[in-house]
Amino acid sequence: MAREPRIVKVHSLKNQALIADKCYVAECFFDRLRGLIGRSDFAAGRGMLFPKCNSIHMWFMKLPIDVVFISEGVKENSFMVTSVRENIQPWRACPLGDFKASHTLELPVGSIKRCSIIAGDELCIS
């Protein structure tokens, strides 16, 4: 029987903005391998979190995304934004990464701007 992916909420501790109310956590091999590949819809308020992953690629993607690289915070469920990348286009040839990050959060285009996310912000994932 297939296991349902864990779903979490992500919000900013800086301005209390709800970044994603339905963020899927890609924990198993298949979820991490597939990610958002092949999906043609990524609605506002959604997200995909890749634990223990600090680089991504855009091969086989159908839509652009915003990417937030994060590292473990000092408090439980808190994470520090190490860098952000907006409007990353499908089929980008080079991988994207941030060696300071320990996790990657993929969001619909416009999420970074809408929630005013910048490096140094603290996020809560619960």
Q: Which two tokens stand for residue 34?
A: 């597939």
The structure tokens 């909420």 sit at 9
Tell me: the pLDDT tens digits for 28-86? 876 776 777 667 778 899 999 999 999 988 888 899 999 999 999 888 899 999 999 99
Which range is least confidently modeled, 4-8, 68-72, 102-106?
4-8
39 belongs to a structural domain:
yes
Number of domains in the chain: 1
Looking up residue 63, the CATH number of its domain turns out to be 2.60.120.1140
120 belongs to a structural domain:
yes
1 belongs to a structural domain:
no
Q: Residue 96 sits in which domain range?
A: 8-125
Q: Which two tokens stand for residue 4?
A: 């349902």
For residue 42, the tally of other CB atoms under 10 A from its CB is 20
pLDDT for res 73: 87
Say if residue 118's pLDDT is above 90.
yes
pLDDT for res 1: 53
Dist. CA 51–CA 65, nearest whole Å: 18
Residue type, 99: F
Q: Is the pTM of this model over 0.85?
A: yes
